[in-house]
Amino acid sequence: MHAFLPKNPPIKNYKTKAKSLNNLENIASLLPKLLLTNKVQSTINSMSNNSFSVDILLKNKKRKK
């Protein structure tokens, strides 16, 4: 029997200068613990309104074009 597995394993993290993506990666890495302690919502609520802003990503994309 053959199962689908990629030749290269998926990346576990990435390097970016975008603070919003770093915030997202941080929460994703903490997700199992946050779920067990029932703190997902409070962690997200404690962040500032623009913690997940993609504005800088969109601006950079426009500059590259």
pLDDT of residue 3: 74
Helices (H), 12-64: 19-36, 40-45, 55-64
Q: Which amino acid is at 2?
A: H
Which tens digit of pLDDT belongs to each residue from 45-64?
999 988 888 887 777 666 76
What is the domain partition of the chain in residue ranges? 19-46+53-64
Q: What is the rounded (10 degree) CA torsion for 24, 25, 27, 30?
A: 170
Phi-psi region of 12 (alpha: psi -120 to 50; beta: other; left: phi over 0): alpha
pTM over 0.85: no
Which tens digit of pLDDT belongs to each residue from 4-60?
788 888 887 778 888 888 898 899 999 999 999 999 999 999 999 888 888 877 776
